[in-house]
Amino acid sequence: MRPAAVSSLALNPVPRAPGAGPDGPRTGAFFDVDNTIIRGASSFHLAKGLYLRGFFRKRDLFRFGLHQLRYLTFGENKQQIDEVRQRALEIMTGHSVAEVTAIAEDVYDEVLLLRIYPGTQRLLDEHIAAGHSVWLVTATPREIGEIIARRLGATGALGTIAEHKDGYYTGRLVGDMLHGRAKAQAVRAIAEANGIDLAQSYAYGDSTNDVPILSEVGFPCAINPDRRLRRHAAEVGWPVREFRTRRRNARRGTTVVSLAGLAWAFGLVARTVVRSWRGSHDA
């Protein structure tokens, strides 16, 4: 962690407005995606879109739904993320990049667009208006991150890269999952390549797994933080912005939404079982 970032914000925990610092692309703004820009896990909604187009089985969707519920209720867990990642890679093997990208576009229009926090979008728009280099930094597949970045007018996206050959996914990753410290390494690399001054830059995240990127910049800010990040932000003097409608009920509300999605997935499985039973009974 950079001492300079902590000491400057310990004296002034109020968030610095995007327009209060230098304009232009040498100032960066790095945004996490899930629960920072978009409510919930964007990859779960992509999984639903893929399921509806016949990519995988109902029990896979049910598994992803459980992950979504745990994520919204308890925050990120690396072991769970790794498990979901491995199954997702298996599912994607042999499918074309063009096909998945087209489905991701539909998922954005049908679902993700409606789940963007208006407060975060205003903040992102302010950075764009100031001419800053605005990057989304997410553990979700880069294809999703790039679609969200393009639709929101951001400079680009850094995400987990699924290997593909001749336009088809191989089931392997290029490098590691963009998570935790890997996010910070990616931010440093993009800053060096584009002449971004990290000391004058901003970063936004919702969980302790975003602490590495928040620690890389001069002006970090926790958005919709989970309990651990909120505690850490208080300890080091980082400002907090809450864009959920009601802080006290925000986690409960997202859990209800997740339970609804999980019930939807469970209902699909149950209906299939009932149909199978009826078919065999009638026969």
The catalytic site residues sit at 32, 34
Distance CA 277, CA 249 (A): 41
Secondary-structure breakdown of the chain: helix, strand, coil percentages, each rounded to the nearest 5: 60, 15, 25
Instruction: Give the span between the Cα atoms of 207 and 229, in whole angstroms.
Output: 5
Residue entry with tokens 């945004």: 31
The whole-angstrom separation of Cα 29 and Cα 270 is: 45
* 281 Cβ contact partners less than 8 Å away, ≥ 6 residues apart: none
CB atoms under 10 Å from CB of 16, counted, come to 16
Pairing mode, strands 168-173 and 162-165: antiparallel
What is the three-class DSSP state of 96?
Answer: strand
